[in-house]
Structure formats: C-alpha cells, structure tokens
A and B are shown apart, each in its own frame.
Chain A
C-alpha cells in the first residue's frame, strides 16, 4: 500500500516542520526579549553598539537567527510516530485508527486488520494532514516574538537605548517632558540635529556630555511640584510660540488692540456678548475717565469714533487690571485655527502674566523696550500694542556655539520665554550669549519653584550658553 507509506512520510515531514516551529515559537520571543533587555542593560552600563541606527535591526536579526538555530538543534530527535498519529486520530475524531494501522504495519501482526483499517484511513488522509498544524499558543508566541522584533527595530526609545551612550538626555528612557514632546512633534529637524554629531564623527568629549547630564539630572530631581499640578512649559520652538500667541489676545490691552484692528479692517463695531461682558467686568476697577471711554465704546456705532476711543484707551498710561479672558477663548480658537495645527502639543491657554513674561523674555528689540519699562515691584508691564510694529517679535534662532556638548545646537533651548542677552553688536560671532538670571529668577518665582532649585536652573542656563549672568 504505497499510498499509506506516502501518507506516513508526508505526516512525518510536516511533523518535523511543526516541531521546529513550535520550538522556534518558544525561543523566538525569548531571544527577542533578551535582545531588548540586552540593549537596555548595555545602555545602562554605558556601553554602546558599534553601529547606530542599525543596532535594533542587528539585535532583531540576531535573535531571529539564534532562535532558529536553537530550534533546529532541539528538533533533531526522532518523531515518536505512534503518539503523533494517535494525537492526529484524536484531532480528526478517528479513535486511534491511523495509529492502529501504523502499529499493524510496523509489527506485521495482522493483514486482516491492515486491510480493514487502510480504506478508513485513506478516506481521511487529507484531514489527517490538515489537522497537523501549529498550535494556537505557538502562533501567539511567534506573534509576540515579531512584536518584540518590531520594538527593537522601530520603537524610538529602544532605538535610542541601543545607540551610542552619548545620545541626547531624552534617550535615557525617561518619559518625554511636555517641552521635549512639543519639540519632537514640531519638527524632525531636532532629531536630525541630535544625530548629526555622531554621524559626522564630531562627538564632543564625554566629559562635556556628563556635565550637562548631571545638571539636567539635578534639575529633574529638584522638582518638587506635585504631579497633579499643571505647570505649563514655555514654548520651545518658534512655531510653538507663534501658535501660542497667534489668534487670541493675552491681556485686556491686547483685546482692545485686536478690536481696533477688526474695526479698521471690517468696519464692524458690533461686539460679541463675551466681549461686551469683558468690558463690563473691567468697568468697576478702572478710573472714571477710562470707564467713561469704555462705556462709550460699548454704545458706539461709528467705526471711526470707536477707533479713536480705543486709541485713547491704549495710550493711557494706566495699566488695565488683570481680567479673565476665558470667555474669548472660543473666538480666539476659531481665529487661531490656521496656526493651531502646526503644533498640537501647545497649551490651549496661558495666563496673561505668563504671556507677558514670555513676551518680555525675548532677546530682541521689543523685549528690550519692555524691560526698560519694568516697574519697581518686578512685574513686567504689558507690551505697548499701540506700536505699529508687529506685536510678536522675531525669535532668536542663531546657532550660539558649535561645541555645546551632546545637547546639540543651542537655538533649540533658547526660545521665547528664556531671557538671554544676545552678544553685543560687532562682537565676535563665537561670543556666547549671556543669561540674565534676574529675569529667570522672576520667572521661577511666578512658577512656585523652590528656592533651592534656583542654583541648578542657573547652572543649566550657564552651561547651555557657556556664559553667566
């Protein structure tokens, strides 16, 4: 009965394949998981792989190959055909017929029962072959292994872990901060910039990187703000700053300025209920002259007269009290939709004083003007929106130094909100920017940061700017 011999051989071959795959299914996820652990362990002890970017791929391929070789070795033994065939009988509900037939043929004990069993088995040969398949558990194991390989190859934090140890601070597996997340989401350029020194072989000395790492670690460890307290980070990219400030006013003066712009462009004096409510809210807190102008504004129907009134209000020397601009948010959001998409990680709302700080902190001419008008109590006055120039000044994006350690180019860290003095006019291009730490201190005061962290923050800024106050 050659067809039975062929069936047994076919089952034998398939059983060997299944046995290999079963072993492989157990070993593969283990090897891939070991690869991940190895990568993290090497990173933890400061060792690095010789190749970057491909390290994850190397680990993945290695684990795959290792599992395959080990599975092959473990699958070398003889197939216990009697037990295998009985298991197949159970799977196809044949109650031991195939295994009994095999037994009869093996021992030659009974031609009668061989003849009786052969047609029963032959009729279900395909079902026997089909029943021999990889178990669900093994399939799940293989999928798990593939997932581990994918993690090794594509997941950024694993990728960062297997890259050389001089990577950016975020590569240490720490959860990304809001600012770093914003920077990552905002542009891939930052990622490229971080990688460039390694690619170019211009990796800075290890000591520099360690110094900055230490400062950052101290900064993290000194953080005492409760987890549930939301402290909005300063925008960390020009795009983020633009998105944060565009589309809505940040103070009552800003609101008046926008109103004036709208009247100029559209000739429409009509105000929304929220805008009227805002003006009504501020009335009790201003002096009589301003209150009269505001009431006139509420009832004004002539665009020119309304503009005059607004200009008069804006030119008054007295600052407006702080008001809650929340009712205007919806309008502002609509207005800012065009720019909001640029940076999804940007906070939707910032307190007016923070916005003022942010604006005041620019190292440009507008910021200088604002600093000149600093009041005695340390509070920063509102930017003069009566100025005809663009209210949002340009950001400083100059590359400050080529050798700043592993943090990469400095302009990523000097953005709106970080008070840094640009070098004097005509100075050497390599002159460092200078940190105005008094201004940093005022920002820290406003954020309830403990006093003992001031020194750490100061050292941070000194390090990244290679300068000092």
Chain B
C-alpha cells in the first residue's frame, strides 16, 4: 500500500527528472512528457522525426538523469535478431566447452532502437517480446529484463526507400507515438548556444533512481479515474471505428481500422501518468484529451481513399474529440 510519503517521493523524483532533462533538451516538452509517461506506465514510445532533432540525446539524458543502463541499437537492413537479443556462444573453461548466453544490447533499462523501420520485420519482431512481456527467449530459455525497462524507437518519416514499415501488431505495442517537431527559432538559438559554448552539452547526473520510478509507477496506478471519464475514453476509442455510430463522418470515410482495446488502456494509463506529472490526485478530462493524439495516432489505419487523399490522422482525431462528449 502506498503512502503519502511514497507520493511525495515520486513527485519529487519526477520533478527533478524533468528539470534535469530540461537542462539538455530545448523545447520538445510534449516528447519529454511522452517519454516520462511511458516510463511511468511500463510502456514504450515511438518517436518520429527527421534526423538531428535530438531524439537520441533525449534518450541519453533520460538514462543519465535516472542513472540507469542505456543502450542504443542502430537498426539496419542486415541487422539480425541475435544482434539485438544476444546469443549462446561456445566457451571453453577448464577443458570443458559449453554454451554461454551473451546478452545483446536489448538487455538494458533504457533502449534506443534508432531507425527501427530500417531493419527487416524478422528483426523488428524480436523486439515484440521485450516490449510487451519484458522477457527475452533465446534457445528455449527465457530471460527477464530488468525494471524499469523502456524501449524508445525512432523512425524517419521522409526516407522511406529501403525501409520496412512496422507491422500493425508491433506498432500497437507502443504506448505512445510522439512526433518530434522541428524547433522554433528561439529554441534553435538556445540549442546552438548550448552546444557550441563553454563546455558544450553534458549529460545530466542521476537525480533519481530505478526505485523512484517503480514507486512512482505504483502511485500512478492508483490514481482514481471518474466513471464518466472512463466511459469517455472508451467512447473515444469506439469513435475511431468507421462502423461505430459514434464515428464522425471523416472517420467513416477514410479509416480502415480503428484503435484496439489496447488503445483504451493506453489512454487511461497515459492520462493517469499525466495527471501525476501535473501534481493532480485524479484524472481530469483535460488529461485524456491531451494524451488522445499520442495514444491513438499510430493505431488508426487509413483506407485507400484516405491514403490517396493524404488525410492526416491528427485531423481525424480532432473530429473524434469534437464529436464525443462526456456523458
């Protein structure tokens, strides 16, 4: 049972964490928030943005501020599953040969899967078990991954040639998808200033630990959600299905498949985490609305007409938000 002390501890840890990341990352508040939400919800984040926007730096700053083990995997077309999971290797000790498991880079607390869509589906699917079950199975043996564990995958939206789009089943396993926007002029000035003057950019020192994250996860899990808002979240998910009577006209016209039940869970969990990060003691409608887009944007699949007309999924989600109200 959590106590007021746990609550204060968790709040303090994440306040320090945000502050520490803020010393390295300029802007990108929504992306930082998405990463922290995923960390609090035992989720994973898909970061989408062009190269050079600070995606890798964000992950490194997060790992540094938490003092957790960090690994980075650059996905390429010839990357094999064993390259990320690890494999049994033949060792010889005292005249006896035996297989010994050599853990791959996926065995860390914070994993950056850079340009995940460049690897083959076979390699991509190697991430599935790690992301969902927090375990890895190699040659019949299952290894637990150390908590807290989070995968932050990136993909480049403009270089699509020679890439393998993530299969729907894998995309659905990301709690949130954050779009990394190009910085504003003001942010760009601050980025260049921080990287070119004095000592340059330094990864922050640990301000919180794994234990803090685990306590915070318990605190977040108990945040109450009013019945009306839980119902609201469910109806938001239903409204993304073209066959639903809640669906707005454009969803009916342009969406092939709506969000899965996992989306409803993601919506509620992410709203809880957001309420916690904002110092609230209950989930508000504002929290659900705020996480609607990152929680749903990667779960809607456009039909041919939607693709042909280049319909933007955020616009469809805006329609859904306007159509569905709290009852």
Contact = CB atoms under 8 A, between A and B. Distances in A.
A120 B224 CA distance: 14
Interface residues of A, number: 25
B224 A104 contact: yes
18 contacts: A82-B226, A83-B231, A83-B327, A86-B228, A95-B282, A95-B285, A96-B282, A96-B284, A97-B282, A99-B229, A103-B225, A112-B2, A112-B4, A112-B222, A113-B222, A113-B223, A113-B224, A113-B281
Interface residues of B, number: 25
B159 to A, nearest CB: 43
B226 A85 contact: yes
Contact of A86 (B2, B4, B219, B326): B326
A4 to B, nearest CB: 14
Given A86-B326, A90-B326, 4 more contacts: A82-B227, A86-B227, A110-B2, A112-B219
B283 interface: yes
Interface string A148-190: 0000000000000000000000000000000000000000000
Contact of A83 (B3, B228, B281, B282): B228
A369 B283 CA distance: 101
B307 interface: no
Interface of B: 1-4, 6-7, 219, 222-229, 231, 280-286, 326-327
Contacts of B6: 112
Contacts of A96: 226, 228-229, 282-285
B228 A82 contact: yes
B224 A100 contact: yes
Nearest to A115: B4
Contacts of A113: 222-224, 281-282
B7 A112 contact: yes
Contacts, number: 76
A115 B222 CA distance: 13
Contacts of B283: 96, 100
B283 to A, nearest CB: 7
Contacts of A109: 222, 224
B315 to A, nearest CB: 27
Contacts of A83: 227-228, 231, 327
Nearest to A106: B227
Given A112-B2, A112-B7, A115-B4, A99 B281 contact: no
Contacts of B219: 112
Contact of B228 (A97, A99, A110, A120): A99
Contacts of A112: 1-4, 6-7, 219, 222
B229 to A, nearest CB: 6
A79 to B, nearest CB: 13
Contacts of B226: 82, 85-86, 89, 96, 99-100, 102-103
Nearest to A100: B282
Task: Output the residue of A85, A86, A99, A100 with the most chain B CB within 10 A.
Answer: A100
Name which of B224, B283, B285 has the most chain A CB atoms within 10 A of its CB: B224
A115 B219 CA distance: 14
Interface string A56-96: 00000000000000000000000000110111011000011
